[in-house]
Amino acid sequence: MNVISHWLAGRRGIVAGGGEAADYVADALALAGAAVARIADPSTDASDIAVAFDTAQAKLGGTIDLLVHAGVAMAPVSAETIDLDGWRATLSADIDGRFLFTAELGRRLIAAELPGSVLFLMPSSHISGGRSAGAAADGALANLVKSLAVEWARLGIRTNAIRSRACEPGGLREESVRRSLGYLSAYLSSGYGAYITGIVMGTDELPPERSSGD
Amino acid sequence: MSLPGHHRVYEAPAFDTPPLPPDMLAGKVALVTGGGSGMGLGMAMALAQAGASIAVFGRTAETAEKGAEELRALGRPIGAYVGDVRKPDDIAAAFDAAERELGLVTILANNAGANYPVLAESVSPGQWRSVTRIAIDGSFLCSTEFARRLIAAREGGAIVNNSAQYIWSGFPGDAHSAAAKAAIATMTAAHAADWKRHGIRANCVAAGFFPHARSNTSNVMEDRTGLMIPVGRVGRMREFGWVSAFLCSPLAAGITGETLMIDGGDSLRRQLMSPAFEPPRDRENPWGNVP
C-alpha cells in the first residue's frame, strides 16, 4: 500500500544524475505524488540546462518546483594521475552541473513567485583513497546547500542534501537504506519538511566494522 | 517590526493531515520522557497520530496526567508514569508499568531536559549537574534500559533523541545546555553503532525554536521571534513531532546514527558584516533579545 501518496501531490520535479540511488529517489518522489522528469545524463552547460527545464515543464504541464541532483559518478582514482581534463570531467562536472541546475530552478521559481525545494544526493562522508575530486565536490556542495538555504529562505525555496553509501558507485546492497533514502528524499522535499533547510544529513553512515558490534 | 510584503513564508500541512497513516505504528508502544508537555508532548502526539500507544514518563504526576489526557483524545491506549530520568530504579519501574499495561516498549523518545540563560561563571555546581544529568544521564539511562529489554526480548526498536540547533555552533550564555545537547547527538551515533546488530536504531532531532504552552510566549512574541529566522517563522510543534515519528517509523528503517536539524535555517544565519559583537555578559539577557 502506498502510504505517502499525499506528500508531493501536485508537485513537478526533475531528478538529474546517474546511478541507482537517483533512480530510487525518482521512484519515491513519484510514489509520493510528484510528476517527475528523469534526466540520467544531465548537461553542465547553462543553455542546455535551460532547455532541459523547458522540456520538462512542457512534458509535466507546469513550473518545475522540485529538483533532485545526484551529480556525476566518480570512479576512485589516485590524485597524482588526474590531469586537467580528468579533473574537469569529475569535480567541475559535478559541482558545475549541480549549481547550474539549482540556479536555473531558483530563477524560475523567483519569477513565478512559487516555493520549491532542492535536494542533493551525495556519497557518505567517509574519505577513502582515490576520492580527491569527490571529496572536494562534497565539501563544496555541503556549503552550497547551507548558503542557498539562507539566500532563498524568504522566497520559500529550501535546499538540503542527503549523504548515503547508497549514492556511491556500486551502491549499497542494503534494501532498507535504499528505501529510506527514497522516503527521506520525499519527506524533505515535501511540505512536511517546510521547516527543514540547509541540512546535510546521512542515512546510515556507520562504518561497517563498528556496526558489526564485534 | 514585521515581515516585508515581498517575503514569502510557508507553513507545514495542518495537524489533522499528518505524514504517516494512522495505523503505521499500530501495536507499537512508545515511551516519551517529559512527554506530558512541551516538545515531549509534541513527539507523543505525532507518535499517537501514527497509531502508537504512549507511555508518558514525567517527573510530576500532574503534568504527566494532563499530557496523557490530551493524548487520549486521539483514541490510543495511554499511560502516565512518574519518575526521574536520572534514577535507574525510577526508569525501570516506568518500563515495567508500561509493559504491564501497554506492552513491550519498542519506541523511545528521549526528550526530558532543562534549560535557562545563565553566564558560565554564574552556573552553580548544582545547576550544571541538573541540566547535564537530566539530558545526558537521562538519555543514556533510558536508552540502555530500553535496549537491554529489547535485546532480551529479541525485538528491534527505535530511539529518537531531542537535541538542539546549537549543537554544532556552541551557545554562549547557555554552556550547560550546549554541552548537554551536543553530548546527546554524539551519544546517539554511538548507541546506533552499539545496537545496530540488535535491530535497534537511534537518531536525533536537533530542533530550533518551537514555542509551546510552557514557553510562555505570546503570539506577538512568536511573530517577533520568527523575524530572526531565515524561513520567517518559528517552528510548529507538529513539524517537530512528525519528523520525530518519521524517524521511528518503518519508513526510516535504513536510517540510524543520524542527526536531523529542523530549525528553519536559524543556525545558518550569518553575514560577513554584522552588528558589533556584544559579549553575553554585557547583554540584558545572555541569550540576546528578540527583534
Residue boundaries of the structural domains of chain B: 29-265+277-282
Query: What is the residue extent of each domain of chain A?
Result: 12-203
Distances (CA, A) of B1 to B221, B223, B266: 11, 9, 19
Sheet of B105-110, strand order: B78-82, B53-58, B29-33, B105-110, B157-164, B200-207, B259-262
d(CA B15, CA A134): 41
**Using the beta-carbon criterion (under 8 Å), do B264 and A150 form an inter-chain contact?**
no
B269 at interface of A, judged by CB pairs closer than 8 A:
yes
Contact at CB, A154 and B265, closer than 8 angstroms: no
B262 - beta bridge partners? B207
Percent of residues, chain A, with pLDDT higher than 90:
78
- Angle ∠(B107,B110,B112) on CA atoms, nearest 5: 145
CB contact under 8 A, A195 and B264: yes
Q: Are A37 and A60 in contact (CB under 8 A)?
A: yes
Q: Judge whether A203 is closer than 8 Å to chain B, CB to CB.
A: yes
Question: Is B116 within 8 Å of B126 (Cβ atoms)?
Answer: no
The pair phi, psi for residue A29, each rounded to 5°, is -65, -40
**Inter-chain residue contact B231 with A198, CB threshold 8 Å:** no
User: pLDDT digits over A176-192, tens only?
Assistant: 888 999 999 999 999 99
- Tell whether A208 lies on the interface with B, counting CB pairs under 8 A: no
CB within 8 Å: A184 and B255: yes
Give the chain A residue whose CA is nearest to the CA of B238. Answer: A192
A 90-149 near B (Cβ less than 8 A): 113, 115, 146, 149
pLDDT along chain B (291 residues), means of 10: 91 98 97 97 98 98 98 98 98 98 98 90 93 96 98 98 94 92 96 97 97 77 89 97 98 97 94 85 87 81
The CATH number of A12-203 is which of 3.40.50.450, 3.30.2350.10, 3.20.20.150, 3.40.50.720? 3.40.50.720
pLDDT at A49: 98
B79 near A CB under 8 A: no
Of A175 and B201, the structure prediction assigns the larger pLDDT to B201
Number of neighbouring beta carbons within 10 Å of residue B86? 17
CB contact under 8 Å between A155 and B8, yes or no, is yes
Dihedral angle over CA of A142, A148, A150, A151, nearest 10? 160
- C-beta neighbour count of A147 within 10 angstroms: 14
Q: Cβ A180–B268 below 8 Å, yes or no?
A: no
Contacts 24+ apart (CB under 8 A), A134-137: A134/A74, A134/A90, A134/A94, A136/A91, A137/A71, A137/A74, A137/A90, A137/A91, A137/A94, A137/A95
What fold is seen in the domain B29-265+277-282? Rossmann fold (3.40.50)
Grid cell 505524514 is found at: B19
**C-alpha angle B164-B169-B172 in degrees, rounded to nearest 5:** 90
CB count in 10 Å sphere of residue B275? 6
DSSP B281: G
Q: What confidence score (pLDDT) does residue A208 get?
A: 60
The yes-or-no verdict on residue A212 having pLDDT over 50 is no
ipTM for this prediction = 0.94
Contacts of B230 in chain A (CB under 8 A): 149-150, 153-154, 197-198
Helix (H) or strand (E) holding A200: strand A200-202
